[in-house]
A and B are shown apart, each in its own frame.
Chain A
């Protein structure tokens, strides 16, 4: 059987009379009418994404201001010009992706999973190029402290981002959470780069970079939980 024949069969099937009860349509109209008032469409994508990047930058700067700008002060010009622009670009990408996730039927250029992988790999590449001290002192104790500090800044950044886009509607809250978590994670890494004076390659490659996937996983979990709760409430 040829594809054209299957097309014909599908068309014939679709043209079959459909007995949608007019009362159903009337009831829908009646339900909608009382609350029908003008609504303001969402702002342009670039504006919302810009706002998200600013929120994340503010969280990173506030955290570093409280803890001290020791990391950025210790960096040389090459390290600064590699690390911060890369973080900025990744944050822009994550912010745009998050905005698209909060608009139904928005065209997605990067899948949420790919965004997490891309962010992590890009950070690894930048850090590997920038930091060449291969000593490893207090690998776990110092590393876990940095991971926790990064996450403590990633969580408010992710939550503030979610709050900023609360007017949007995520058709898939788990993947929206994953992207919000990635964005928050980048804010956490930003704070660590501003603050952490430990330039050992292993420390930065493992523990600083880990903030992004861990934060993304937490975001996805939160999104999944929100959807589960919404579904349970709808029962």
Chain B
């Protein structure tokens, strides 16, 4: 990241190769189409490039990437909802009920029953392997709040995975 700040294109290309699949998966975990995820990935990198000076050497880079990706995703989310159904629907969906139809991948299908904020935290913590503190930084919240969201998400996942299709999920044949 420091070499990227110094203007090294090799370092930038390496970062793009390594971080993009994670960010792409992060976008896909939000019930988003592949084309939208591609667009947001590109938009995120343009923003990352524009504000790369705000990364502080020595700090963990992953939360920084995710904080920017999250910002882009929230903007996209609000824009698309406004365009589709106006303010009333925005308020309802921000409460956490996601029902946007799309071609779900394995992870997306698994996380689909979760509210938006819990899905985001689970994706970062359990899928990307970030620490509680890193997730708290990326989501501008406290560690306690992240823990609470994880707890609630697991409760919900336990209900949905355990009750609806235990064999399917456990066997790994998700799609």
- Considering only CB atoms, which chain B residue lies closest to A39 in the complex? B53
Question: Is the CB of A12 closer than 8 A to any CB of chain B?
Answer: yes
Q: Are A10 and B51 in contact (CB under 8 A)?
A: no
Q: Do residues A231 and B68 form an inter-chain contact, with CB atoms below 8 A?
A: no
**What is the bound-complex CA distance between A37 and B7, given in angstroms?**
4
Cα–Cα distance between A172 and B72 once the two chains are bound (Å):
11
- A108 to B140, Cβ gap below 8 A? yes
Q: Of all chain B residues, which has the CB nearest A172?
A: B140
A42 near B53 (CB under 8 angstroms)?
yes
Docked CA distance A3–B153 (Å)? 11
B9 touches A36 (CB 8 A): yes
**A140 contacts the other chain (CB 8 A):** no
- B161, A1: Cβ atoms closer than 8 Å: yes
Chain B interface residue number, banded: 35 or more
The interface-forming segment of A14-22, A201-209, A212-220 is A14-22
Identify which of residues 1-54 in chain A touch chain B, using a CB-to-CB cut-off of 8 Å: 1, 3, 5-7, 9-14, 16, 18, 20-21, 24-25, 27-29, 31-33, 35-42
- Across-interface contacts of B21 in A (CB, < 8 A): 18, 20
Residue of B nearest to A14 (CB): B127
User: A interface, how many residues as a size bin?
Assistant: 35 or more
- Give the most central of B6, B20, B140, B157: most A CB within 10 Å: B140
Say which residue of B52, B105, B158 sits within 8 Å of A1 (CB atoms).
B158
| A106 x B137 contact (CB < 8 A) | yes
Of A21, A25, A105, most B-chain CB atoms within 10 Å: A105
Contact B161 A6 (CB under 8 A): yes
Known: A27-B42, A28-B41, A231-B75. A6 touches B64 (CB 8 A): no
- A29's partner among B16, B57, B79, B172 (CB-CB below 8 A) is B16
Residues of B within 8 A of A171 (CB): 67-68, 70-71, 140
Residues of B within 8 A of A (CB): 5-7, 9, 12-13, 16-17, 20-21, 24-25, 28, 38, 41-42, 45-46, 49, 51-57, 59, 63-64, 66-68, 70-71, 75, 78-79, 105-107, 110, 122, 126-127, 133, 136-138, 140, 142, 154, 157-158, 161-162, 166, 169-170, 172, 174-175
Interface residues of A (CB under 8 A from B): 1, 3, 5-7, 9-14, 16, 18, 20-21, 24-25, 27-29, 31-33, 35-42, 102-108, 111, 167-169, 171-172, 175, 231, 234-235
Known: A24-B38, A41-B55. 10 other contacts (CB 8 A): A12-B174, A16-B105, A21-B38, A31-B46, A32-B49, A35-B49, A36-B7, A38-B6, A41-B56, A108-B142
